[in-house]
Amino acid sequence: MYNLLKEKMQGIKVSLDDEQLKQFHRFYEMLIEWNKVMNLTGITEYEEIVEKHFVDSLSIVKCLDMSCVNKIIDVGTGAGFPGIPLKIAFPNIEVVLLDSLNKRIRFLNNVIDELGLINIYTIHGRAEDFARKEDYREQFELCVSRAVANLSTLSEYCLPYVKIGGMFVSYKSGNIDDEMLESKKAVQVLGGRIDKIVKFQLPNTDIKRSLVKIEKVKDTGKKYPRKSGIPAKEPIR
């Protein structure tokens, strides 16, 4: 199993030592164990989890030099993607995992303890609420999200966390062109600028993915994010 994981990671030019391989494997085991009692992932086969969760999470290296990042927040982390794989692969980074479901936070805290990860924290709540708190607003060099929402909505959730000069990277499916056009105004209003879009296929699969890299060029206006539920119901157009 370690050989498969190592080989898949080499496909995106990410090298892992023996300890990191063990951590990824234990993370997989915990996903399967906890998935029996709560809905964490619809994917349970080892190779699929490696490809669609682990490799996908680390594919950010295609658009960003992670050695230049010190502090990141993963908004809507769910079962810990991409935040946990990023922490395992780049242990010097400080990571904050945000999710609105407390049972997922309990799972993540158990993973953090079991894997012996340090300088990684979980917060339970809505993105709209924590983005207004001084300790979190515009405090991060990088915000990441694999959450399922349109880019206009995600930008309103995520860009308020990013400091000027930092980045928001949204993990998306392959067909992103229409969504990109619809989100341009929202990105601009929220203080961002679309820097690049990286389209690719996960190694040795036919799964098409896109990474949207948005640079924070000015402060996000105080009215954003709007109250809970509004960014999803009424995206900025």
Check residue 105 and report its DSSP letter. H
What are the backbone angles phi and psi of residue 86, rounded to the nearest 5°?
-65, -40
> What tokens does 18 get?
């023996």
Q: What is the pLDDT of residue 76?
A: 96
Q: Using CA atoms, how far apart are residues 218 and 216, in angstroms rounded to an integer?
A: 6
Q: What is the pLDDT of residue 3?
A: 86
Check residue 235 and report its DSSP letter. -
> What tokens does 126 get?
């809505």
Half-sphere exposure of 83 (CA within 13 A, CB side): 32
Q: Using CA atoms, how far apart are residues 153 and 22, in angstroms rounded to an integer?
A: 36
Task: Please classify residue 173 by burial: count the beta carbons closer than 10 Å to its beta carbon, then call 0-12 exposed, 13-18 middle and 19+ buried.
Answer: exposed
Q: What is the pLDDT of residue 148?
A: 82
Q: Using CA atoms, how far apart are residues 148 and 86, in angstroms rounded to an integer?
A: 19
How many helices (H) and strands (E) the chain has is answered by: 10, 7
Contact 122, 109 (CB under 8 A): yes
Q: What is the pLDDT of residue 114?
A: 98
Sheet containing 140-145: order of strands: 120-124, 94-99, 71-75, 140-145, 162-173, 208-216, 192-201
Q: What is the pLDDT of residue 2?
A: 80
Q: Using CA atoms, how far apart are residues 98 and 109, in angstroms rounded to an integer?
A: 12
CA distances from 117 to 88, 99, 138 (A): 8, 18, 25
Per-residue pLDDT of the chain (237 residues; tens, 9 = 90+): 688 899 999 989 999 999 999 999 999 999 999 999 999 999 989 999 999 999 999 999 999 999 999 999 999 999 999 999 999 999 999 999 999 999 999 999 999 999 999 999 999 999 999 999 999 999 999 999 998 889 999 999 999 999 999 999 999 988 898 999 999 999 999 999 999 999 999 887 888 999 999 999 999 999 999 998 899 999 998
> What tokens does 2 get?
């370690």
Q: What is the pLDDT of residue 237?
A: 87
Contact 232, 153 (CB under 8 A): yes
